[in-house]
Structure 1
């Protein structure tokens, strides 16, 4: 009959006698986890230096998850067959699982304990160690890379382009403007309460093409943008600069002052629309209090032509890039200088930002209000 009494052993590190737990599995050789760690450190006194990754593992995969989700949404809008939808959903699910592995690995590299990982994932620490051990994660991510390589070789269009690494060149102005144009159209569409099919029927476009426009996969021509803006009760002028930048269209270098002012205001409102039309209070908060609510309202209404500092703060607060707006701002101020001192052949035209009822010019008005909270 087997002995059912307590079992004892001698710790391989501290040589102290201890009672074994009796749990199934590998025979217990150390009295405490601390002794086991000390023994491991002594066996490997010079561990390999930690590899420094310029980009967290999870971030690359998160960008891929976003691209796959957009593709799935476009397919659903386009009423693709069930087999296609389920295949894309399966790929998205696998990518999310890879993301979880990579996110845990990133957290561990930053010093997060297994207990903290387990709490975040609502599992036990033992399960977390088993599921996301470094060797396991490395093996899974290696398999993911092989899967993507094979898939790209079979059909390059089935996967989104690999995301840029940090330190590489940023997104080009045309790409930024195309993304903002899609966001603006999508926000107008949501406010219209029209389905993709209703939009397609009203514009003589296919549902698939409309959904790709809204997701940013297709860059429409200007007549289509005008049709969509009119259908959604939007202002095509607010989308014009985004569309021109996306297509690389260069406006005339010299424009009458009212035209230059109108283009700048429309561009700012286009970025505002692409940001889902946040309230002036939210924009005020996003600028860190730099811009007052009054200045924000007047800028959006076109009552005030902002100076460059105000323009930069506003553009960044609504998710835009100041360098994309700089040519429009400079065109306004060049036209203003021409208005003040016209050369031969230039006709003076009324200034849209003369003194207001209180006698203040544009810059006097801004200097007084810039610090308002």
Structure 2
């Protein structure tokens, strides 16, 4: 399910295109096609917002009150079968495109939070504005220097986007690092996924990851690395791919074993992490 922030950003992009089309007096058919796209995107945003509210614990009565509907009407409009129509499951061939969109979502979240306009960002990064728009919309993957510069322009940490960038290109290659560096690299990857998911609160994320909010904060800050089952569950909760995260986690384990011996795998994470790992991935 795409995040609400992604749906809202796409909606804003469509509205911007309609404004340009109107200013340039493009053919009526072009403007009406954009209008149809905006109406469809509004439906998708609404469904995504409802889905996120439901995941956060809202009942159908709460949704109905916000939408000025009855609970039965809200359930019928946004239940699972209806969501499947709006958001068909990704096919295997579409997964690389999905990871490209994750990178765009994270960068767009930084851009919105920074308050830096697209044209200002393009000027400061030395890039063309149409190209920056394509990057923010997930149409293309920038080079690492371009992404690094844009992340800095948007007051973000470029290292948080590194693994998302590698994943968008098709593969993740963890560097050889000491134990603390390897753990920090994995934490940065998790923070990137957190950005791409729209930075959900720790309280909301804890319900899916089965970890206390304070523990999640420490994990994202790189203070400790959970066992693999717990890490995999967190990656899934953030909409990431476990196959991208596993080599990063293995690098942490290998570095820890080299430093502390073969019992290191039993000591990864805090007590909450180790208990959660017993519940499976």
Tell me the equivalent position of 2:236: 316
**1:254/1:331 contact within 8 Å kept:** yes
Calculate the aligned-residue CA RMSD, in Å: 3.9
**2:15/2:38 contact within 8 Å kept:** no
Q: Higher helix fraction: Structure 1 or Structure 2?
A: 2
Would the alpha carbon gap of residues 328 and 250 (structure 1) be closer, same or farther in structure 2, given more than 3 Å must change? Answer: same
**1:70/1:215 contact within 8 Å kept:** no
- 2:24 pairs, out of 82, 92, 102, with 82
Shift of 1:334: 2.2
**1:268/1:315 contact within 8 Å kept:** yes
- 2:14 pairs, out of 72, 87, 109, with 72
Is the counterpart of residue 278 in structure 1 residue 200 in structure 2?
Answer: yes
Q: Give the SS at the match of 1:324.
A: helix
Shift of 1:207: 1.6
Where relative contact order (Cα < 8 A, 6+ residues apart) is larger, the structure is 2
State the alpha-carbon separation in 2 of the partners of residues 167 and 201 from structure 1.
Answer: 36
Tell me the equivalent position of 1:247: 169
Tell me the equivalent position of 2:271: 365
Would the alpha carbon gap of residues 214 and 285 (structure 1) be closer, same or farther in structure 2, given more than 3 Å must change? Answer: same
Normalised to the residue count of structure 1, the TM-score between the two structures is 0.51
Instruction: Point out where structure 1 has 5 or more consecutive residues left out of the alignment.
Output: 1-64, 100-162, 343-352, 355-359
**2:235/2:241 contact within 8 Å kept:** yes
**1:303-330 CA-partner distances (Å, limit 9, x unpaired):** 1201122212222222222222122112
State the alpha-carbon separation in 2 of the partners of residues 209 and 167 from structure 1.
Answer: 26
State the alpha-carbon separation in 2 of the partners of residues 276 and 367 from structure 1.
Answer: 24
Tell me the equivalent position of 2:64: none
Instruction: Point out where structure 2 has 5 or more consecutive residues left out of the alignment.
Output: 1-6, 42-85
Normalised to the residue count of structure 2, the TM-score between the two structures is 0.66
Count of equivalent residues: 227
**2:211/2:273 contact within 8 Å kept:** no
Alignment of 1:254-265 (within 5 A): 254-265=176-187
Higher Cα Rg: structure 1 or 2? 1
Shift of 1:168: 4.6
